[in-house]
Structure formats: structure tokens, C-alpha cells
Structure 1
Amino acid sequence: ASLRARIAILSAWYPEPRDNGAKHRLRATIDALAALGDVYVVVFLDETERQAVQGLPVAGVAGLAVLPLPDVRPYSPRAVLAGLSVTPRSLNATWDPRIAAQLRRFIIERGIDTVIAADMRTVHYLLSLPEEITLILDEPNVSPFVVTAGDGLRARLRQYKYRRLIQRAEPRLAAVLAPSRSEAHAYRTLGGRLPVVVPNVIPSAGAGRWQPPQARNVLYTGSMTYAPNADAVAFWVQEIAPLLEAQAPGVVLTVTGALPAVVPTFAKSPAVELTGRLERLEPAFAEARAFVAPLRSGTGTRIKLLEAMAQGLPVVGTSKAFEGIDITHGVHALVADDPAVFADSVARVLDDDAFAMQLGQAGQAFVLETYDPARIAQSLRNVVVAARSASVSARHGG
């Protein structure tokens, strides 16, 4: 097959502004694959999201299409019927054959030969494309759907639905990618192949050596409009901060990222500073004594956490925050799930500059080695080239 490709990426996220991990991965994918040919992006958004991003430019793409998603209200007849289906409710509720037809026209009219679904939310539209198109699934993030001990009937039914979906998709997929080994094994557990691990590219890696500032604020970067981030701040304010106050009085948690229309009461604490979304995070990293990630829920690789490590900041986070990141506790960062242990860990970093710098430098070295942008980009290109070649051979019986 010719190396010159026409590639489309299907995403449930608009690429700009790059304010979450999925968007950073999408941007890195666009940049990496531009070396192979023309890259197009097709975004599926509801009406509110479409209005919010209208007119925002996206650099480096040959074409961009924004397709509407059906507006599905909770408990509406459409939502209830979607829940009764044997396919996952979120996918079934957002399926519309008219949108699928628009997608097919966009792909065929531009001679696109390879289509990548950037997450599971677009896989039903991916599978609707003609047989001659090479299909790739990236970042399925199905770990939340793997049943664990103690899960109830609802969780088991959801796992069954995702297992059926994956088994239906597998014959059409030329390749599957995952951002971490844990996500790759979760996909395999649900009946798929073992995906190729292509880590996320971390922005600002190797920015220099961090020096402990005089101020005693700690930093968390995450949009408060995303429920797991809001819960992380609540966990800090309600359970960690009171314990930390006894050891290190006056510590303020600086939270960057988009704010909801109504700020939760717990976030109005004097121990929290809300900056809103910042154009550049480097000044916030430089002014922080540590980066904290008190996450208790959510999926995917925490790009901002790794970005803080790339800047050389000492990082304290929960095991959920480090999910899919193969750090060593006490060497690259500190891991703590119990509020008292978390508070003790933050106090140690605040009170011991030498240890904080040692931790930060080890974390920075880990990110530089594990998330090298050039190596990751080449790995992605290799997978796409091999998938295109295998698809052509399969269609011609070779």
C-alpha cells in the first residue's frame, strides 16, 4: 500500500481548546499522522457544545466536520428504549442513521482510506463505514466497565453489553490502541485482542529544574465542570485539608480549569483558590510547592499530572490518579488513598525541600523516558501503516 494516506479521526471532543487529556491525545494524533498524508477530523457534538466551539480554528487538518448528536434527555422515551437494548445505552441513544449517512458522504467524497475512532463513544459510527475503509479504534477506555468483586447486577449487565459490542467490532478493526497497559488489559478482559500500547504525549516535557518557591500553595489542574475533578476538590477540602492544617498551617489549594456556572459551596473555602482556565500553566507550576491529585473516580491517563511531573514538581496523588502510570511510590511520586496518609505526604513534601526536589527530578526523568514525543509519534505511525497494509492485503486475499 502507498504510504500516502487520507486519514480521518472520529472524536466526541472538539480539538480546541486543549483542556483535557483526550484533546491532548487527539492533537498529538493529528500531528503524528500528518507525516503520512492528509488528516481530517470529524467531531460529534450536541447543540450546546457546537455553539461553544463555533469558529474555533483547528490547525494542521485538511478538513473538519462537526456532526450533530441527538439530544437525549434522561428518562425520555429514547433514553429508556436505549437502556433496554443489548448495546450500551450511551451508544444506542446517540445513534442516528442520518448522521451515519453524513459521515459516509464525508469519508467517500474525500477519498479517505483510514478512519480512527478516538474513543468508544464513536465506535458505532465507525462500524457503519464501508468495508473497504481501514478501521482503527484508539483509547477505548473500557476499564470502568470491567466487573470487580462486589459489583451488582447493573454493572454486570453493562459489562455484558460492552463485551458484545467489542466482539462485534473486532472483525472489522485493523488495529486497536490503548494509552496504558492497564487499559489494554481491560479491553482484552472484555473479549478483544490485546491492544498496542501507545502512550499519551506529555506537553512541556523537560522544561527545566523546578525550585521550591517561598509560597506554600499546592496545585491541582482540572476543570470543575468535570464531576471527578469536583469530587477531588471536595475530598481535599472536606477530608485532607483539615488534617494538613494541623501539620502545615495556611496551605492553599490552587485549582485551575473551567468553572461551572454555579461554584459548589465546598470550593468557596478560604483554603481553595479558583483561577478559572489559564492559557498557560507554566507559571502556575513554577509557583506551586507541589502538585496534588486527590482523585477518587474518572478514567483515562491524567495528562496534567504527568505534565506537572514533566515540569519537575513533586506529586502526591491517589492510586486512582496514577491508574495506568507505572511509577514507583516513594521514588517518582507519593501515592496515598487515606486522607491522613495523603495529608502526611503533602506535609513531608512541603517541609523537606531536598526530598521534594529529589522526588520531582525522579518524576521528571520518568516522564522524559516513558513519554518521549518523537518515539510515541513514530510508534503510532508504525501501527497505522501496518494496519493499512494488512487491510489492503486482506481485501485482495493476500
Structure 2
Amino acid sequence: MKTTGDQQLVKRINRSVLLRLLRAQPGYSRAQLATGSGLTKSTVSLLVRELIDEGWVTETDITAAQGLGRPSTPLHIDGRSRGLIGVEVAVEALRLVGVSLTGQVLCAAEEALIGTKPEDVCRQTARLVARTYAQLQQRSIALTGVGVGLPGAFDEATGMLRFAPNLGWRNVDFLPMITQALAQAKVPEVPVHVQNEADTAALSEYEFADGDAHDSLIFVTCGAGVGAGIVINDRLFTGKQGMAGEIGHSTLQIDGPLCSCGRKGCAETFFGARTLAKLPDPAQGGRYLGVVLQNLWTTFNPSTLVVGGPSCDTYPGIVKVAQTTLQAYADAAGMSPPQVRAARYGLLASAVGAAALVLHHELRPMHTRLQAPLVQALEAPDESLSMTASTTV
């Protein structure tokens, strides 16, 4: 016998299936959603009604004929009723955005950090989130959740920021701290998600992309620190304790320059912002960036490599040099490299991606641990699955 919790999770899965179908195929009708999802038409009708009422989905006034029978009503993700707030905690500043469910930046702000102690950063972040929430309220936009991107290794399982050398943070219990600060700033109780800022930057491209990312993408962010956000098989690859993608601390030269992390020869010492500012021609730091892109390509074989961050904004030439370096490696191997392009959202990439992190979790309830009754439900035929969901609508 299935528990209510299991039924609710199956219902969330069904909702996420419909939402992801509409993201991939805007304008699908209820009948097309039923065909694409394998759910019954009655289940789809009930769930779509619920999603419309909650501001996730909207109907267009135009109807489309589908052969015999009544014309269908196209459905779309609602970009006007719900909003997401994303924050990037950078080494020198906070960047914050309000974003629609379709990736439109509704408002943005940047403010220099008033202090680097974790509690100071949380208070300042919460104040800015409260201000952005008020802006969304003025536009009658409901807040769906808050995401935060941090410049270090974040352990999602424990809520702990393990390692952020450029802020001097180690083992900071960040998630409870930011949640408490948001409550004290009178931000409504909504889901709060935290992740590494390079990971969130990757999600800005992956969740709000126009289709070139497919199921794999790597975002390399270049600033005071260097990191990579990795999406493989439709999931963020964060590794144990959130350390995956810390490419700024991969070794490019044995016994090279001393890095802020205490090691020598890290990638960050060759094309981090502090190093680029000292080079006669900063664009030449792109050669080392190109080496790192080559290593990421041969390790993960992504469909797309995206490069962004403050250094790319200040020294745009490093991206071109990196592309040339990567192409030279590809030519030597007789292979075609993946697409390399600049970030769509520029300096707001990590903040927009922090907002996208909320959506990423909402659309993937299967990432939660499955209980035995739910596994049995998922192994049942589609009709059984749809009936389980429809009984809890």
C-alpha cells in the first residue's frame, strides 16, 4: 500500500514531466502532453489545471486545429506569474537578479561586499534578497525560491561550504545561516538552494539555453578564482563534498607559482585575475585557459564549453586565444573540438544560474532518494503511474 508521501512524489514527478515537455516543446496541447508523457488525458487535464492556477503554465488565446475533433489550446511556461531570485557571492561583490521561469532577467543589482565574514555576507545577501522580493511583489510576481552561488566547494549533502580560499572560508555551515538570515529579513519561506558559483553559472546556460547544450555542458568561470560547472547526463556533477570542477586548483606546472590554496603551480596562478593584471599582454593567459579546456574536453567530452566571468569581461581576448589553443590540440589529434562560446548572461551568469538552480531542483524530483513503494510505482505501467498521481490531485 502506497503512502501519501509516495503519491505526492509521483505527482511531483508527473508535474515535472509536463513542465519539461513544455520547455522543450512550447505550444503543446493537453493531448500532445498526454501522448508525450504517457499519462492519461484525464491526469494531464487535472495537472495542467493545477499548474495554470499556480502560475507555472499559461494558455494562449489562439487555438490550433489537430485533425478531427475540437481545436486544441497551446500551452506555454508562464513567464509572468512566478519569479526566481539568484545571488552570486563573488570575492569582491554580491550580484543579485530576479528572473522569470523562462530566464528573462526582471531586475538586477550589484553591491560591494561590506565584509567577508560568513555572517556579514549572509546579512547583506538577505537584505538584497528582501529588496528584490519587494520589486517582484510590485509586479505581482510570486517568489518560487532563492538560489545562492558561492566561490568554493559546497557540500550539498550537509549544507556545508567546505573550501573557499579566496574568501578565507573553510567548513562554514552556510545553508542554515542564510536560511536564518532570510527569515530575519522577512523573506517568505520558500525553497533555498546553494551551490558552487561555477555550477550555478553552468545552469544559467543549461536551464535557459536555446537547445545547443543537449545533456552535457561545462561552464568555465574566470575571475579571482577559476572554476568549472559540469552538467553531465542532465545532472550537475559536483563530486564528493562538492569539490568537482575546482579546476583552478588543478596543477599545470610542478613546483610552479604558489597559489592561495597553499599548493604550487595551480591553474589559477596562470590565468586568475591577479595574474592577468600583471601580464604585459593579458590575452596570453588564454593559452593556459585553452590547455584547461582541452583537458576538460578529453575528460568529459561535453557538447558545449562556455567561458565567462569577470576576467573574460575585462580581457575578452583571452577567450579567442583559448579557442585557438584548443583548436590546435584538436587539429593535432585529427578531431573536431566542442563548441566554445562566451556566456549569454555575461557577468550575471552565476546569479542567473543560482536562480536556475531552484528550477533545476523543482524539475527533477527524482533526484531525491526513492523509497521502496515509490520504486514499485515507477516500475508499474504508465497507466498505473498516472492513476496514482491523479488520485492525489
TM-score (norm 2): 0.30
Higher strand share: 2
Task: Indicate the structure whose relative CO is greater, using CA pairs within 8 Å and at least 6 residues apart.
Answer: 2
TM-score (norm 1): 0.30
